[in-house]
Amino acid sequence: MMPWTDRAGKLSPLKLAVFVGTLIPAFLLAYYAVAGFPKGAVTSSLLGPRPFSAAILHTGDWTIRFLMLSLAVTPLRRIGQWPKLILVRRMLGVAALSYALGHLTLYFFDMNWDLWRVASEIALRIYLTIGFVALLGLVALGSTSTDAAIRRLGRNWNRLHKIVYGIAILAAVHFFMQSKADVYQPTLIAGFFVLLMAYRLAHWRGLSLNSPLVLVGIALGAALATAVVEVAWYGLATGVPPMRVLSANLQFSYSIRPAWWVLATGLAVALLGYVRQPGRAEPQRGRRAAAKAAA
């Protein structure tokens, strides 16, 4: 079965679009690496003066983005009534693993393939240790993502793949720690993770994900949690006063803080849930059919 076909071997436009989407960051990275080189020059590229460091960051960013997208599949299936989304969850997970492996390979390149140095750095630098553990978890999930592995593991497959939540937390912590002072992107990712986990928690507690009130409540709670995460990180890691961080969330002169993006995303999902809730589409189709019959 090709990445762009369904189980019946037919072309799936959804899978094809997602497959192409997973390749775009890699093609952009390759373009950035070579496009800035004038004829005969070997020292410049669009990646800047430290191309390997920029490439390492690029692949790391897309690792956690694809990981979050893979976690978004199940809530969106339930809220948007789109069962076919399950077709791309595995692909997104494998994309996250592929970029993570690229992330590590580029780090080896940057260290001149000095295995001992890389191993010591991973052992001694806690944020690298956390990232490496997350990578090992992704490898475990990727190596058991085949149909044969699913059949072989049976119920244990679901138990094993629940470690994806722990992997996402480790990846987010790694993202925060390597970002140091500017944690805008890590905070945004953490907020989206909270939003996705809130959808799952609501489902596990028996709350309807087709209820706009539930979805709006989740959006508000996740946005507040995102602001708290940002305040906590700056307070613990940099000593910035909490009120200064909170006040920044109410100022829009320079940027829109992560909590507002999480709120906007959650409200958009709530709108989707309202539009797609069961019972709304059927009467509309019925009215159109009646109008045609009358005509």
Residue 160 lies in a domain: yes
247 and 103 co-located in one domain: no
Sign of CA dihedral 3, 27, 101, 158: negative
Looking at 11-15, 39-43, 65-69, 139-143, which range is the least confident one? Answer: 39-43
Bigger pLDDT: 252 vs 9 = 9
84 and 206 co-located in one domain: no
pLDDT (mean) for 98-125? 94
What one-character DSSP code corresponds to residue 114? -
Residue 289 lies in a domain: no
* Residue range 31-76, pLDDT digits in tens: 888 876 555 444 456 777 788 889 999 999 999 999 999 999 999 9
Residue 294 lies in a domain: no
CB 6 within 8 A of CB 12: yes
90 and 215 co-located in one domain: no
What is the pLDDT, as a whole number, of residue 210? 85
Residue 230 lies in a domain: yes
122 and 229 co-located in one domain: no
153 and 77 co-located in one domain: yes
What is the pLDDT, as a whole number, of residue 221? 97
pLDDT (mean) for 269-275? 93
Report the C-alpha gap between 189 and 290 in whole angstroms. Answer: 47
173 and 238 co-located in one domain: no
Residue 226 lies in a domain: yes
What is the pLDDT, as a whole number, of residue 277? 79
162 and 269 co-located in one domain: no
Percent of the chain with pLDDT over 70: 89
Residue 57 lies in a domain: yes
pLDDT band at 282 (very low <50, low <70, confident <90, very high): low
117 and 36 co-located in one domain: yes
245 and 162 co-located in one domain: no
What is the pLDDT, as a whole number, of residue 42? 47
What is the pLDDT, as a whole number, of residue 142? 94
pLDDT (mean) for 247-269? 87
* Residue range 147-201, pLDDT digits in tens: 899 999 998 999 999 999 999 999 999 999 988 778 899 999 999 999 999 999 9
Report the C-alpha gap between 132 and 145 in whole angstroms. Answer: 20
Report the C-alpha gap between 239 and 131 in whole angstroms. Answer: 25
Domain tally, the chain: 2
pLDDT band at 295 (very low <50, low <70, confident <90, very high): very low
Helix H, strand E, coil C: the string for 195-258 is: HHHHHHHHHHCCCCCCCHHHHHHHHHHHHHHHHHHHHHHHHHHHCCCHHHHHHHCCCCCCCCCH
Bigger pLDDT: 292 vs 217 = 217
pLDDT (mean) for 75-86? 92
Please give the residue range of the domain that contains residue 240. 182-278
34 and 134 co-located in one domain: yes
| Residue 29 burial (CB count, 10 A) | 20
Looking at 37-51, 139-153, 254-268, which range is the least confident one? Answer: 37-51
